[in-house]
Amino acid sequence: MSYCKQEGKDRVIFVTEEDHNGPTEVSLPQDDETPAGLIQPDGDINWACPCLGGMATGPCGVEFREAFTCFHYSTADPKGSDCLEPFRQMSDCMAQYPNVYGNKEDKEEENAELAKEMSTNGEQTEQVSVKA
């Protein structure tokens, strides 16, 4: 017969071979705890949600939260159309930190420029002469 013994802080379970073989008959309680999503049970925004991509923190975290909160509670039609000002401020802030909120196109351009600075002038043979 399997039994369980509490030894101080430890709970020790002795399982018979018979009980150990075969699948368990224990059923776990329904897990009400689904992983925290964007909206908390009380309706508030979960700023730690991975879906926000970290935008709620960082140099423009405050601006982001204000814009997003406005949008979330907006009842205008279309939704969020009354939030232009906080979004504009967020956008202005992010423009100041391209290294953080990198525009992919800008980065590509930066790389292209650097490549040209460090490489051969090449293409000389390809020049096409046309009457001026």
Partner 1 sequence: MGVTASCRRRDAASDTETDSQQQQHERRMSGVGDEIEAVICKEEDLPQDGMKSFEMGEGKVLVVHHKGQLSAIGTKCSHYGAPLEKGTLCEGHVRCPWHGACFNVTTGDIEDFPGLDSVPKYDIHVAEGQVRVRASKALLATEKRTKEMAKRDPQNSTALVVIGGGAAGASCVERLRQEGFTGQVVMITQEPHLPYDRPKLSKAMHLTPDKIALRTNQFYEDGDIEILMGVSASKVNTDEKSITLSTGEKVTYDKLFIATGGKPRKLGIPGGDLAGVFVVRTPEDANAVAADAAGKHVVVVGTSFIGMEAAAYLATDNRAGSVSVIGNTTVPFERSLGSGVGNRIQRLFEEHQVKFYNNVGVKEFTEEDGKLKGVVLESGETVAADIVVLGVGVVPNTDFLASSNIPRDDRGFVPVNEFLETSIPGVYCGGDVASFPLMLEDGNRVNIGHWQVALGHGRTAALNMLGHTSPLASVPFFWTVLFGKSLRYTGYGKYDDIILGGDLESLSFIAYYCHGDRVVALASLGKDPAAANYAEMLHQGKFLTKAEVTADGEMALKIKCY
- The residues that touch partner 1, with contacts defined as CB under 8 A, are 59, 96-100, 106, 109-110, 112-114, 116-132
User: Which DSSP string do the residues of 28-82 spell out, in sequence order?
Assistant: PPP---PPP-SB-TTS-B-TT-GGGTTTTSSTTHHHHHHHHHHHHH--SSSTTTT
Minimum CB–partner distance for residue 111 and partner 1 (Å)? 8
Minimum CB–partner distance for residue 52 and partner 1 (Å)? 21
Minimum CB–partner distance for residue 58 and partner 1 (Å)? 11
Distance of alpha carbon 27 from alpha carbon 76, whole angstroms: 47
Minimum CB–partner distance for residue 88 and partner 1 (Å)? 14
Residue 53: CB atoms within 10 A of its CB come to 8
CA atoms within 13 A on the CB side of 93: 19
